[in-house]
Amino acid sequence: LEIIEQSDGVMVARGDLGITLPIERVPVIQKYLIQLAREQRRFVITATQMLESMTQAARPTRAEATDVANAVYDGTDAVMLSGETAIGRHPSTVVETMRRILTATEPSVKFPSMERIDESVDSAVSRAVKQLADELEAKAILAPISSGSTALRLSRQRMGVPILVGTLNDTLARRMVFYQSVFPMIVDPELGLKKTSECVIQNALDAGYITNGDRVLLSGGLPVEKAGTTNFIRALTVGDEI
């Protein structure tokens, strides 16, 4: 726990775990580490031998497909390929196969929230976003300006819909791609909340995440100059005036 608290994220490297632990303990430890990382609001990556047979073969085994899917059910934010793409014979096929397994699995999973319950406004707002998204059947969550904390809080709620986040620079965007369901884009905060929200909505439309007439939720912190706060929610219909 102390190590996780000092980390930005956690990688569950099953190969290393298999060297230091009895093999039968690896699945148990994988699930434990994923849960612990989520409870501490850290992103978590599951890695090693996800589709190992595809280093040579053009198709994975059924057990490998199940392994990838189970990592999703465990609550991992990302899965990682290594030898399959680094030295494998079918690198692009491996990536496409992984994508298909993940895309098929995620809609069937009802992710429980792992946001720590506390009395802060930020925590309460993120829980409220989840409840509203479920009740209104929102197609996406938009966080037009985020330094990272809003994106992480929303991701921890396991919304089940895309979370489109406007962020300030490439460094933050690269970190956010590890947060489950978060899709970052670079924005200029000097445009203000209204213009930035319009940019995020237009990018989401262009990417096909939403269409005109969809309900979406807008969430973030005010004033926008104060990083690390999440204190408002707004329900919108795409196409209406912001």
Spell out the residues 6+ positions from residue 77 whose beta carbon is closer than 8 angstroms to its own.
9, 43, 44, 45, 155, 178, 179, 180
* pLDDT top residue among 191 and 112: 191
Predicted confidence at residue 225, as pLDDT, reads: 66
- 131 shares a domain with 34: no
Residue 45 sits in a domain of what CATH number? 3.20.20.60
- 132 shares a domain with 85: no
Where in the sequence is the domain holding 1, given as residue range(s)?
Answer: 1-108
- Whether the per-residue pLDDT at 199 is higher than 80: the answer is yes
- 98 shares a domain with 130: no
In a domain, 147, yes or no: yes
- 16 shares a domain with 79: yes
Spell out the residues 6+ positions from residue 36 whose beta carbon is closer than 8 angstroms to its own.
1, 4, 10
- 100 shares a domain with 188: no
- 150 shares a domain with 208: yes
In a domain, 113, yes or no: no
Sheet holding 78-80, edge to edge: 9-13, 43-47, 78-80
Token pair 């986040």 in the structure block, residue: 165
Spell out the residues 6+ positions from residue 234 whose beta carbon is closer than 8 angstroms to its own.
217, 218, 219
Predicted confidence at residue 116, as pLDDT, reads: 58
Token pair 């300006």 in the structure block, residue: 145
Spell out the residues 6+ positions from residue 94 whose beta carbon is closer than 8 angstroms to its own.
51, 54, 81, 84, 85, 88
Please tell me the distance from the alpha carbon of residue 166 to that of residue 202, in angstroms, as a whole number: 12
Q: Among 73, 108, 143, where does a domain finish?
A: 108
Q: Among 78, 108, 138, where does a domain finish?
A: 108
In a domain, 114, yes or no: no
In a domain, 116, yes or no: no
Total count of domains within the chain: 2
- 133 shares a domain with 93: no
**Strand runs labelled E in the chain:** 9-13, 43-47, 78-80, 140-146, 163-167, 182-186, 215-220, 232-237
| 113 confidence band (pLDDT: 50, 70, 90) | low
- 231 shares a domain with 153: yes
In a domain, 115, yes or no: no
- Whether the per-residue pLDDT at 214 is higher than 90: the answer is yes
In eight-state DSSP terms, residue 168 is: S
Instruction: Write out the two tokens for 135.
Output: 């009740």
CB-count exposure of residue 112 (10 Å: 0-12, 13-18, 19+): exposed
Residue 185 sits in a domain of what CATH number? 3.40.1380.20
| 105 confidence band (pLDDT: 50, 70, 90) | very high
Per residue in 51-103, pLDDT (tens digit) is 999 999 999 999 999 999 999 999 999 999 999 999 999 999 999 999 999 99
| 146 confidence band (pLDDT: 50, 70, 90) | confident
Q: Among 76, 108, 140, where does a domain finish?
A: 108
